[in-house]
Amino acid sequence: MERIYFDNAATTPLDKAVLDVMLPYLTEKFGNPSSIYSYGRESKLGIETARKTVAKILNANPGEIFFTSGGTESSNTAINAAVNNLGCRHIITSPIEHHATLHATDHLHCKQEVKLSHVKLLANGHVDMDDLRRLLSTSEERCLVTLMHANNEIGNLLDIHAVGNLCKEFDAIFHSDTVQTVGHYPFDLRNTPVHFINGAGHKFHGPKGVGILYINENVKIDPFIHGGAQERNMRAGTENLYGIVGFAKALELATEHYEEHSKYINDLRMYMAEQLQQHIPGVTFNGDLHGRSLYTVLSAAFPKTEKTEMILFNMDINGICASGGSACTSGADAGSHVIRAINNDPNKITVRFSFSKQNTKEEVDKVVAKLKELI
């Protein structure tokens, strides 16, 4: 059976060119980067070259880039450091963050009695900036603001500069979960008012199990994982050598082809939105589809019927891969906290379609035709 993969916000297929640069580090260049002999030095050079590549693309200092196991570890490191090292006793976040943020902030709220506030959302799912200002201006403690750059389920994009400048005004620490945007948008971190951002290689055709944490050079924190002296004493554990090399190559390729691929993918997304509206009565879209929105994500809400309640299952049987929300919760039928927060309509069933450079209009046509048949 032909499979159509429309769940690229969950993960993307590894690019062949990325695999090619990783293979030598899986075979002959296998040395431990902490070893002082030639094998180790060769591996260490691979990591530091990758760090310089990532830093140059993000317009950061190489000393501000730390390699981790992925977005979850990076977010947890930043959030815990803000509380334990930077004096933040009040966390401001939103109800539609990724669980890596929500569960980390809930844990600190319960275990360390850190105050926790959730900023209000506008009707279209964007952060209410007036409410964020109110929370910051009335807080008696130093604040950590942790808000994602692009929502992984509905695609809404945060105005990262506006939030950063507001945080600067109130001496707040600002962490933005940029897992859905690193590798998909250009960054200029030297001119972005943010203390921490994070990325994950598998979101832009790189390998799984590797990510980055950017820590602004003016911020000094303690390690989150203790042990060896890797990552300049900031992240203990033998480095994921081939993953790091692959991350840098994937980011390089994504940046090189950004203009071409972003336009192609967005055209595909909008084409599918139009086709769904033409052929599926009652379909609506979650989030700010025609405004500030991630070009890879389309969150469609179908009228609830006996047929649409089984839509994901029936799509899977027919070789179509999509999700009902965040893929990170796709083992438990708990519904989406994001959809509940912005569109808690019991008469709608949400499906998230997310696209990559490898998808085609022909695939969109086949999926829409199958949806017509199923619904």
Write out the catalytic residue numbers.
328
Give the residue among 242, 244, 248, 243 at the shortest CA–CA distance from 31: 242
CA dist 344 → 42, 337, 340, 347 (Å): 54, 9, 4, 9
List, in sequence order, the alpha helices (H) in 280-357: 306-309, 311-317, 337-342
- Tell me the helices (H) and strands (E) count for the chain, helix number first: 13, 12
At 36, the amino acid letter reads I
CB 250 within 8 A of CB 181: no
List, in sequence order, the alpha helices (H) in 212-301: 230-233, 241-256, 258-279
Environment class of 138 (CB within 10 Å of its CB; exposed 0-12, middle 13-18, buried 19+): exposed
At 13, the amino acid letter reads P
Distance, in Å, from the CA atom of 250 to the CA atom of 29, rounded to the nearest integer, reads 19
CA dist 243 → 33, 96, 203 (Å): 13, 29, 13
- Residue matched to tokens 């999700």: 323
CB 150 within 8 A of CB 176: no
